[in-house]
Amino acid sequence: MGVGIEVSNLNAWYGANHTLQDINLNIPANHATALIGPSGCGKSTFVRCINRMHETNPIGRVTGTVRIGDLDIYKDAKPVEIRRRVGMVFQRPNPFPTMSIYDNVAAGLKLNGYSNRRALDEIVERSLKNSALWDEVKDELKKKSGASLSGGQQQRLCIARALAVDPEVLLMDEPASALDPVSTSKIEDLIFQLKSQYTIVIVTHNMQQAARVAEKTGFFLNGRMVEFDSTHKIFTNPSDKRTEDYITGRFG
Amino acid sequence: MNANVTEIRISQAQFQPEPDIPEGQAPDETPSADVSEVRGFLLARGNSALIDRAFSWLMLLCALSIFAIVVLIALELVRGSQLSLHKFGFAFFYKAFTDPDTHLTVYWDPVNELFSARPFVYGTLVSSFLALLMAIPLAVGLAIFLTEMCPRVLRGPLAFLTELLAAIPSVIYGLWAVFVLVPLLRVHVNPLLIHGLGWTGFFNDDNPTGLGYFSAGVILAVMILPIISSLSREVMTAVPHSQREAVLALGATRWEMIRMGVLRNARIGIVGAIILGLGRALGETMAVAMVIGATPEIHRSLLSNGSSMATVIANEYAEAVGEMHLSALTEIGLALFVVTIIVNALAQVLIWAVTRGTPAQAH
Amino acid sequence: MSIETFEFRSGMRTVTDGLVTGLAILATLVVVAPLVAIFIYLLYMGTSSLNLAFFTQVPKPVGETGGGMANAILGSAILLALASSIGVPIGIGGGIFLAEFGRGTKLANAVRFTADVLNGVPSIVMGLAAYALIVSPRIPFLPFTGHFSAFSGGVALGFMMIPTVCRTTEEMLLMVPHAVREAALGLGVPNWRSVLSITVKTASPGIITGCMLAFARVAGETAPLLFTALGNQFWSASLNQPIAALPLQIYVYAQSPYDDWHRLAWAGSLVLIALIVIAVSLVRFVTSRGVLKGAS
């Protein structure tokens, strides 16, 4: 079961560039939340603050509070611990090139010292089923390398890999933007199924995708969060004019 | 609010549509015991901060070992040359002694503990200079051919050949030089040199063996050629195509394009490549030792026997006659070390300036 | 400028162009010729002297024909094993530091620069240092010190391997796409584990070829062994005694006045060159096929 995320006064910098300014929002548990906005508005930076990936950049800096459940992730925990509880799927699929499909899915566990073979087999199977990839690869789990799959399959493999560690939150940074329409719709179906088990935050520049998949949507602009509300309201009756301009395609 | 517009846009999309559940892949909804076991396992893992820190320190140590090696070499060489440094001072490198009995100039007499590095410095400089003289035009010519003129098909094999040339060990070059090159020079080339250039005083026929500075210069040239050539190629390839095109657009011939568009931009790097070749020539040991004649004397004729800094160390170190002998040899080694470091550092700076830090190939 | 002058100058330019092209081709031929000559001569002289005895027997006393360089081959193998056990781990560690921990720092730049400079130091100086450190008697109870030994030779060669392995490892690690590292980090894998099991593993074909290059280079080195390992006419596999080595033996035999030993020198050169050609070709093959197969 997922947990909610509470963000207060979040500010982020890339060097001197004040990328995120005073972000406040509450992301509900076990729902999918979409973040939309034009390129460069800071939504990717935002999600990378949630799993403390932003600070891996030498010029990245964060202030403010992010609470996942009741844990203040910047004060009460180390980055490595957080990243085991918050999974991430990146824009371009990035399976580990030297590993088989099985090893890719199991990587998050094996590389953290998990060695129970029987349990691993079950976990790999379950994760691949949950990411709708099982039927396509079940006969070649250990023979095929992760990198030999098609783009859409690779991304589902990355989703399976993220799910295998049973995270409480799943962050997806434009997961379908590099994929063809068929793969995209498969992934959207996936998100739909998964959100009852995890808290999902999905960054997307595709508004239809947000509308299809998410209960709540946040609109980012120039490093600020302009509006955060139910998806239906954002897309049919937004409160802020800037939101409406973006939705109707006046810019972005 | 213009709800109509937004409605049209989103009308196709159905909010929260029913998912298509494909056959046989019912989403697993009951979290089994495994799930919380995994979470529990990972939560208990800790953050490996200690191992991370130890690991990064270990890697740092490995990197620092490179500094340590250089410092170690310097320390040991200085320590080992103390005796000789003390006795002879800096004059070690140019002094000339006179044998008390024969009244002839003597430079290197281990038995009587008379040590001057002058003939070795001379030999190193002469053989290296000769090598550069012969190698530079050939190496740069080869680089130009490979980069600008060579048909694409030949480029790979020729580059591979050059790489192989660079990989041949010094001792094999020496072997080939002793049994093939030296006789060849002795029979066919040296007489011509004596005949045609003997008037300069640099080529006389006192030495029938065929060994000497000139032979050493030739084999050195063969050895440093691949280095100069491949580095020059790298530097020339780094010149952007726009430069070449700009010159061609002015109606230049190919040579003019090369001269103005490529060489002019790459010349700093090519100088760096040449200096790197010089560095290699200065320290080259085995092949030179086998063909230079190993005689601690100074002669004007390039065809006479001589010696070099690396040669005398190679020949005499293992069986040195006494502490002073060993110390003198170590001092020569120290000089070699310092000179090659300076030369190589200079070359690296020049090359880096042109290629902007492209990693060096393993030569 | 008059028409005649212009035409003359144009003509001259064309002539110059052709001349330079010819010179460049000439230069290429002059370079290629000795290489081909060396290889052909080596093959010719070497194969005629290569026989089973070469690989199985030790040198016979002066005057007797036959014998081989078996002890030198074994000796080289032992020296190279020792050298690799020093050079490869430390070199790879240094490369990991440069690529993963110190990227962009001044320290890393200094290390890189020093490594390149160290690569250019004559190998005989390396031998001098090893002699001063290990061979010349100092600490009585430390093993391997105080006399010529295979150990000192192996150490000298190992030190020579470090800068080469370090630089090629760094190069290869830098080629691993950032996305792969991010994926590992995103899973909560500790940094050390990510570096070793993901980044290094992905770059391992290239790293291995870098080690092979360094290996091939020190396999042919003679100068550092002249007063460390010293050479040995008999069977020896001990690290604590002088040991024979292929390039050393070739050097000694080449300088000798005996035809028989010359024969052996050629055979030994052929074996050495074969080893090096194989290594260089393998390196080229692996790197041309794409070091990181499958990495996007």
Q: What percent of chain C has pLDDT over 90?
A: 38
Using an 8 Å Cβ cutoff, are A74 and A27 in contact?
A: no
Q: Do A78 and B15 count as a contact with CB atoms less than 8 A apart?
A: no
pLDDT at B135 over 80: yes
pLDDT tens-digit profile of B103-113?
788 888 888 88
Minimum Cα–Cα distance from B29: chain A residue: A197
pLDDT at B8 over 60: no
Chain C contact set for A101 (CB, 8 A):
none
pLDDT tens-digit profile of A71-91?
899 988 888 889 998 999 999
Q: How many CB pairs under 8 A join A and C?
A: 82
**Mean pLDDT of the A173-195 span:** 86
Using an 8 Å Cβ cutoff, are C118 and C163 in contact?
A: yes
Q: DSSP label at B343?
A: H
Please report the pLDDT score of residue C48 as a whole number: 78
Q: Do A114 and B16 count as a contact with CB atoms less than 8 A apart?
A: no
Any idea where the domains of chain C sit in the sequence?
Answer: 3-49, 55-288
pLDDT at B17 over 50: no
The CATH code of the domain at B119-355 is 1.10.3720.10
| H or E stretch covering B148 | none
Please report the pLDDT score of residue A2 as a whole number: 65
Please report the pLDDT score of residue B11 as a whole number: 43
- Mean of the per-residue pLDDT values for chain B? 82
Q: Do C186 and A87 count as a contact with CB atoms less than 8 A apart?
A: yes
pLDDT at B93 over 50: yes
The CATH code of the domain at C55-288 is 1.10.3720.10
Q: Which of residues 157-196 of C touch A (CB under 8 A)?
A: 177, 179-180, 182-191, 193-194
**Mean pLDDT of the A56-66 span:** 89
Give the helix ranges, DSSP H, for B81-189: 82-88, 118-144, 152-167, 170-176, 182-184
Please report the pLDDT score of residue B4 as a whole number: 40
pLDDT tens-digit profile of C25-57?
888 888 788 778 888 888 888 887 777 777 777
Q: Does A231 touch chain B (CB under 8 A)?
A: yes
Q: How far is C101 from chain B (nearest CA, A)?
A: 7
Please report the pLDDT score of residue C37 as a whole number: 82
Using an 8 Å Cβ cutoff, are C186 and C88 in contact?
A: no
**Tell me, what amino acid is at A180?**
D
**Tell me, what amino acid is at B97?**
F
- CA A9 to each of CA A63, A72, A83, A221, B92: distance values in angstroms, whole numbers, following the listed order: 8, 13, 21, 16, 74
pLDDT at B46 over 80: no
Chain B contact set for C262 (CB, 8 A):
179
Please report the pLDDT score of residue B274 as a whole number: 93
Number of C-beta neighbours around residue B206 at 10 A:
11
Reported confidence tier of residue B14, pLDDT bands at 50, 70, 90: very low
Among A174-188, B251-265, B349-363, C125-139, where is mean pLDDT lowest? B349-363
Q: How far apart are CA C14 and CA C24, in angstroms?
A: 15
Q: How far apart are CA C243 and CA C248, in angstroms?
A: 10
Q: How far is A119 from chain C (nearest CA, A)?
A: 19
- CA C268 to each of CA A68, B157, C34, C78, C196: distance values in angstroms, whole numbers, following the listed order: 69, 26, 20, 17, 39
pLDDT at B15 over 70: no
CA C124 vs. chain centroid, Å, equals: 15
Q: Which of residues 189-208 of B touch C (CB under 8 A)?
A: none
Q: How far is B4 from chain C (nearest CA, A)?
A: 42
pLDDT tens-digit profile of C251-283?
999 988 888 888 888 988 988 988 888 888 887
The chains in contact with chain B, meaning 3 or more Cβ pairs closer than 8 Å, are A, C
Tokens of A178: 């590099």
**Beta-ladder partners of A239:** none
Q: How far is B69 from chain A (nearest CA, A)?
A: 31
The minimal CB distance from C190 to the residues A51, A80, A82 is found for A80
Q: How far apart are CA A231 and CA A218, in angstroms?
A: 8
Report the complex ipTM. 0.87
Please report the pLDDT score of residue C55 as a whole number: 78
- Mean of the per-residue pLDDT values for chain C? 85
Please report the pLDDT score of residue B310 as a whole number: 94
Q: How far apart are CA B282 and CA B172, in angstroms?
A: 18
The minimal CB distance from B1 to the residues A134, A193, A244 is found for A244
The minimal CB distance from A92 to the residues C179, C184, C197 is found for C179
The minimal CB distance from B25 to the residues A114, A134, A208 is found for A134
Q: How far apart are CA C223 and CA B287, in angstroms?
A: 10
pLDDT at A120 over 60: yes
pLDDT tens-digit profile of A154-183?
999 999 999 999 888 999 999 888 888 888
Please report the pLDDT score of residue C63 as a whole number: 64
Chain A contact set for C192 (CB, 8 A):
none
Who has greater pLDDT, C294 or A226? A226
The minimal CB distance from C183 to the residues A80, A81, A90 is found for A90
Largest Cα–Cα distance of chain B, in whole Å?
117
Chain C contact set for B58 (CB, 8 A):
93
Please report the pLDDT score of residue A48 as a whole number: 92
pLDDT at B45 over 80: no
| Strand-pair category, A169-173 with A86-89 | parallel
CA A38 vs. chain centroid, Å, equals: 18
Q: How far apart are CA A63 and CA A41, in angstroms?
A: 18
The CATH code of the domain at A5-95+168-247 is 3.40.50.300
**Mean pLDDT of the B255-270 span:** 84
Buried b (16+ CB within 10 A) or exposed e, A5-41: bbbeebbbbeeeeebbeebebebebbbbbbbbbeeeb
pLDDT tens-digit profile of C131-163?
888 888 767 777 777 788 889 899 999 999 999
- Kindly compute the dihedral angle of the four CA atoms of residues A43, A49, A52, A54, in this order, to the nearest 10 degrees: 60
Chain A contact set for B20 (CB, 8 A):
189
Reported confidence tier of residue B19, pLDDT bands at 50, 70, 90: very low
The minimal CB distance from A88 to the residues C177, C186, C189 is found for C186
Minimum Cα–Cα distance from C177: chain A residue: A94
The minimal CB distance from B39 to the residues A129, A166, A196 is found for A166
Reported confidence tier of residue B78, pLDDT bands at 50, 70, 90: very high
CA A150 vs. chain centroid, Å, equals: 21
Closest CA to A90 of A55, A47, A120: A47
Q: Do A112 and C188 count as a contact with CB atoms less than 8 A apart?
A: yes
**Mean pLDDT of the C12-20 span:** 81
pLDDT at B35 over 70: no
Minimum Cα–Cα distance from A147: chain C residue: C294
Using an 8 Å Cβ cutoff, are C79 and C247 in contact?
A: no
Q: Do B317 and C131 count as a contact with CB atoms less than 8 A apart?
A: yes
Among B193-207, B246-260, B324-338, C1-15, where is mean pLDDT lowest? C1-15
Closest CA to A193 of B13, B38, B18: B18
The minimal CB distance from B59 to the residues C24, C97, C230 is found for C97
**Tell me, what amino acid is at C227?**
F
**Beta-ladder partners of A224:** A221
Using an 8 Å Cβ cutoff, are C28 and B158 in contact?
A: yes
Among A138-147, B3-12, B170-179, C114-123, where is mean pLDDT lowest? B3-12
Q: Which of residues 39-58 of C touch B (CB under 8 A)?
A: 41-42, 45
Q: How far apart are CA B84 and CA B96, in angstroms?
A: 15
Mutate to test the interface with C, among A98, A101, A104, A155 (most CBs of C within 10 A): A98
| H or E stretch covering B180 | none
Q: Do A81 and B47 count as a contact with CB atoms less than 8 A apart?
A: yes
Q: How far is A186 from chain B (nearest CA, A)?
A: 9
Q: How far is C204 from chain B (nearest CA, A)?
A: 17
Q: How far apart are CA B40 and CA B281, in angstroms?
A: 64
Please report the pLDDT score of residue C289 as a whole number: 67
Q: Do C168 and B362 count as a contact with CB atoms less than 8 A apart?
A: yes
Please report the pLDDT score of residue C64 as a whole number: 67
Q: Do B318 and C20 count as a contact with CB atoms less than 8 A apart?
A: no
Tokens of B311: 């040669």
Any idea where the domains of chain B sit in the sequence?
Answer: 119-355
The chains in contact with chain A, meaning 3 or more Cβ pairs closer than 8 Å, are B, C
Supply the angle between the helices C150-174 and C123-130 in degrees, to the nearest 10: 130
pLDDT tens-digit profile of B305-315?
999 999 999 99
Please report the pLDDT score of residue B28 as a whole number: 42
pLDDT at B18 over 60: no
Q: Do B63 and C220 count as a contact with CB atoms less than 8 A apart?
A: no
Please report the pLDDT score of residue C27 as a whole number: 81
Mutate to test the interface with B, among A189, A233, A250 (most CBs of B within 10 A): A189
Q: Do A119 and B37 count as a contact with CB atoms less than 8 A apart?
A: yes
Please report the pLDDT score of residue B357 as a whole number: 46
First to last CA, chain B: 71
Minimum Cα–Cα distance from C136: chain B residue: B80
**Mean pLDDT of the C169-173 span:** 93
Mutate to test the interface with A, among C101, C181, C187 (most CBs of A within 10 A): C187
Q: How far apart are CA C22 and CA B255, in angstroms?
A: 11
List all residues 6 or more positions away from C273 whose beta carbon is below 8 Å from its beta carbon: B168, B169, B172, C39, C42
Supply the angle between the helices B213-237 and B264-283 in degrees, to the nearest 10: 140
Mutate to test the interface with C, among A111, A115, A145, A174 (most CBs of C within 10 A): A111
Please report the pLDDT score of residue B108 as a whole number: 86
